[in-house]
Structure 1
Amino acid sequence: MIRLILIATILILYLIIGIPVLLIEWVIGKFNPRTRDISSLRMVQAAFKLMLWITGSDITYIGHENVPKDQAVLYVGNHCSYFDILLTYSMCPDLTGYVAKAEMLKVPLLRDWMKRLYCLFLDRSNVKEGLKTILTGIEYIKKGISICIFPEGTRSKDGNMIPFKEGSMKIASKTGCPIIPIAITNSAQIWEAHLPYIRPAHVIVEYGAPIYPKELSKEDQKFLGSYAQHKIQEMLDQHKQED
């Protein structure tokens, strides 16, 4: 329970202290938007790394060299835990916005930081608004801002992936940006598997080889979500064999 209290305290303090920081970042952005963006990215990454350290978990990262450093990408991963966001965001080499549920807009301060970090808020109950969100993601990619999405649409309760939603892959199919499949194993063992306690776990986060949509067959291009999910499942299966 101590670990949970410490992480919750860090989150609350960060959001409170972040009020003047957001104002300072806003001023910096008037003169140098790039400096503001990178500053915000690194501060949040530092906080996430501290929270992960507090969990006491042994985190193994594999294949991070597969992430291109000179262009925006679409990260696509399986989703079992809230900690998946901390695990992956702390490793982003450059600006990256996450696709989150529209309900997050109701959380004061957190939503402000998320907006500052180019996060997108997806309302799955409104097709028109959902399309606008995807279009915004496409514009971000064109501006050099990567996007990360968990295409299952929700966290998997039993560790087995839910079929990916194909609509989310339009960000890649319309821009031609590389898709980076991410396979995350055991992240739910940090917290969700034994709520409310946070316990150390061995977590594996593997970045697969980039998938270039235009290099795939027409059939695979049509079902990019299924193709990416298959690649992720292959990595997850390999993790089980090595465990």
Structure 2
Amino acid sequence: MIRLIFVVIFLLLYFILGLPVLGVLWLIGKRNKPAADIASLRIVQWAFKVILFLCGTKLTVIGEENVPKDQPVLYIANHQSYFDIVVSYSRCPGLTGYIAKDGLEKVPILSIWMKRLYCLFLNRQDIKEGMKTILKGIDQIKHGISMCIFPEGTRNDNPKELLPFKEGSFKLALKTGCPIIPIAMTNTPKIYEAQAPLLKKTHVVLHYGKPILPNELDADTKKHIGVYTKCVIEQMLEENEQYLETP
């Protein structure tokens, strides 16, 4: 219970004190947008790292050298927990927008921060609107901003067997040629969902796979790139078991 109280207090303070910070970032952005963007990224990453610390999360990171530092990428990750975003975003080396469900756009303050961080809101019920979101993501990658998407489309309770990947998610890479970085996260549900509303000290593994280069795939693999990437991440999840230990 004490962990939950600390996290709630921290979040309240962050959102309250974050309002003037947003104003300062807006002013900085008028003169130097890249500086404001990087400042926004680092501030949120700091907050996420504090939250993980307060939760007692031990994080083991595997394969971080596979993430290019000099070009935008498309992160493709499994999705089991709200903490998947906290864990993965805290390690992004550069500007990265996440594709989130459109309901989050209506959350005060949170949506402002998300927009500052180039996150996009996906309407899963409207195909036309969904395609517009994907096109925006493609444009952002072309302008040097990495994107992250959870192609299962929803949180999955099965830790090892992934839901089918939505092939449309991969248009972000297929239309830009950017590398796909597969991400396999293990144990994130044990931080919160497994014993909600309590928070539990947990050992989490964040595993980055080798870049998948769409333009170097054969025609058949490229046509079924979602299935291919899903298999890669499932293999990574199996490998993650060897890194787990009692925190």
1:45 is aligned to 2:45: yes
1:84 is aligned to 2:87: no
What is the identity, as a one-letter code, of the residue corresponding to 1:10?
Answer: F
Q: List aligned pairs for 1:108-127, cutoff 5 A.
A: 108-127=108-127
Asked if the contact 2:207/2:240 (under 8 Å) is kept, the reply is no
Q: The residue matched to 1:175 in structure 2 has which SS?
A: coil
Q: List aligned pairs for 1:147-226, cutoff 5 A.
A: 147-159=147-159, 160-226=161-227
Q: List aligned pairs for 1:57-76, cutoff 5 A.
A: 57-76=57-76
User: How far apart in 2 are the matches of 1:86 and 1:242?
Assistant: 20
- Percent identity between the two aligned chains: 56
Q: Could you tell me how far 1:241 is from its partner in structure 2?
A: 5.0
What is the identity, as a one-letter code, of the residue corresponding to 1:58?
Answer: K
Gaps of 5+ in 2: none
Q: Which residue matches 1:105?
A: 105
Displacement over 4 Å in runs of 4+: none
Asked if the contact 2:62/2:206 (under 8 Å) is kept, the reply is yes
Spell out, residue by residue over 1:166-204, the C-alpha distance to the aligned partner (whole angstroms, 9 max, x if none). 101100000000000000011111111111111111111
Q: Could you tell me how far 1:211 is from its partner in structure 2?
A: 0.3
Q: Which residue matches 1:5?
A: 5
Relative to 1, partners in 2 of residues 1:45 and 1:242: Cα closer, same or farther, differing over 3 Å?
A: closer
Q: Which residue matches 2:19?
A: 19
Q: The residue matched to 1:214 in structure 2 has which SS?
A: helix
Q: Could you tell me how far 1:158 is from its partner in structure 2?
A: 2.7
User: Root-mean-square deviation (CA), in Å?
Assistant: 1.0
Asked if the contact 2:179/2:214 (under 8 Å) is kept, the reply is yes
User: How far apart in 2 are the matches of 1:93 and 1:241?
Assistant: 26
Q: The residue matched to 2:175 in structure 1 has which SS?
A: helix
Gaps of 5+ in 1: none
Q: The residue matched to 1:60 in structure 2 has which SS?
A: strand
* Aligned length in residues: 243
Q: The residue matched to 1:108 in structure 2 has which SS?
A: coil
User: How far apart in 1 are the matches of 2:163 and 2:117?
Assistant: 27
Q: Could you tell me how far 1:242 is from its partner in structure 2?
A: 5.4
Q: Could you tell me how far 1:63 is from its partner in structure 2?
A: 0.5
Q: Which residue matches 2:139?
A: 139
User: How far apart in 2 are the matches of 1:3 and 1:158?
Assistant: 26
Q: TM-score, normalised by structure 2?
A: 0.96
User: How far apart in 2 are the matches of 1:191 and 1:76?
Assistant: 22
User: How far apart in 2 are the matches of 1:183 and 1:158?
Assistant: 13
